[in-house]
Amino acid sequence: MKCIFRTTIVLLSTSMIMLVCGCDLLPENNMIEEITPIIFWSVQGGGEEDGKITISTLVPPLIKEKKRVLSLKVSLLNEGNKGFNLTYYNELKAGQIRLLFVDEAYAKRGLTRLINTVLTDPNISQRLYLVITKGNFNEFLAKHLGETDNIDYYLYRMFKHYEKKKQGEITVVNLHQFMKMLYSQVSDPQLPVFRAEGEQFLYEGTAFFDRDSMVTEIRGKDDQIIQLLYRDRFVRYLVLPDLAVTLGHIRARTRKKLTPDLSSLSIEIDVKGRIDELNSLARIEDNFQYAALTRKIERYLEENVIRLLSQMQKLQIDPLQIGELTAKPFSKPITRATWDRHWSTMKINVKVRLHLEPLTKVK
């Protein structure tokens, strides 16, 4: 009898709770075979007067089936997302988005709105890689629709590979890093730039931002040199065509120092590596010539670093996070305006020290 009484009470209270909370427990269906977890979005346009953007993605991802490119002209990012659902038989889910390709033209007008949309979605990971694209990205996608051609997946693996060991081969920036740089008091973000060309997707260099809008980019050799300026990077090859020399396996250690009155910046770079390629070995027959070459490379690097930095000074951007050196344990943090004023007129001294492994086995 008591047992029945108890059961009734439990059942009653359960049904009361059900009534209060509403019956459908989980209205969202995430069943893995019924959804299409897309891996990237690509955003283009924004230049027209109606402010519309073109958003596209590749479906179905990760399955050995014929792919197709979904592309929509919309004014809001999630409008595109909804539009995709209406055109495709599976529901597209954003929880596995790993890459966000943004067209150069769009990036030049500012990324804030796009990134805010991505940030507010609780499903999207902070490890989303941001990439600036040039050329016609959709055309590039259209060339990779084969059953076994998981171009989206392979692109993701590429970024993940270079991110893992902080390799300086290409610039890799994820959403969190971008946001941290964006919010930083005195520094500016940067993103990698790729060019879509037919079937190819080529790494071009690094784009520099002034706050959230892209202002310039550096390419090739310059990009490689800039990689040396970050804290503790590994660069596989540093090709210096002007000197007809390639350095390899480079570990760079950089120390930056600001004078207290912010009038000058001194950068010391210790570069450890070896000569991988040289047009003529005759140039380093003896130690003197070897030392001469080393000095030549050092000077060349110094000149280039100064040139690149002065370019940044001119644009009043600080992608190398030099501004954060102004933070001191017991002093007032400075404002952006103060920093910009000092930065644009700052005197820069660069000292490169090259520690090359001696060449052996060569003839």
Binding residues (CB under 8 A) for other proteins: these are: 6, 9, 13, 17, 20-22, 25-28, 30-33, 35, 37, 39, 62-64, 93, 95-96, 98, 122-123, 125-127, 150, 153, 156, 166, 176-177, 179-185, 231, 321, 324-325, 327-333
Helix (H) or strand (E) holding 227: helix 220-227
C-beta of 57: minimal distance to other proteins in Å? 15
Give one DSSP letter per residue of 124-182, joined into a string: S-TTPEEEEEEE-HHHHHHT--STT--HHHHHHHHHHHHHHTTBSSS---BHHHHHHHH
Check: CB of residue 44 under 8 Å from CB of residue 51.
no
Taking the complex as a whole, how short is the minimal distance between the CB of residue 158 and other proteins, in angstroms?
A: 12
Q: Which is nearer to other proteins, 39 or 293 (CB)?
A: 39
Nearer to other proteins, 211 or 221 (CB): 211
- How near is the Cβ of 230 to other proteins at its closest, in Å? 9
Give the long-range contacts of residues 237-246, CB within 8 A, separation 24 or more.
237/276, 238/273, 240/297, 240/300, 242/300, 243/296, 243/297, 243/300, 244/278, 244/279, 245/275, 245/277, 245/278, 245/279, 245/293, 245/297, 246/275, 246/276, 246/277, 246/278
Nearer to other proteins, 28 or 285 (CB): 28
In the complex, least distance from residue 82 CB atom to other proteins, rounded to whole angstroms: 16
Q: Which residue, 39 or 225, is less far from other proteins as judged by CB?
A: 39
Q: Which residues contact 179 (CB under 8 A, 6 or more apart)?
A: 115, 119
Quick one: 220 or 333, whose CB is closer to other proteins? Answer: 333
Angstrom distance (rounded) from CA 348 to CA 307: 10
CB of 25 to other proteins, least distance (A): 6
CB of 171 to other proteins, least distance (A): 12
Q: Which is nearer to other proteins, 289 or 335 (CB)?
A: 335
Q: Smallest distance, Å, CB 309 to other proteins?
A: 19
Nearer to other proteins, 105 or 258 (CB): 258
Contacts of 265 (CB under 8 A, 6+ apart): 256, 257, 258, 259, 309, 322, 346, 347, 348, 349
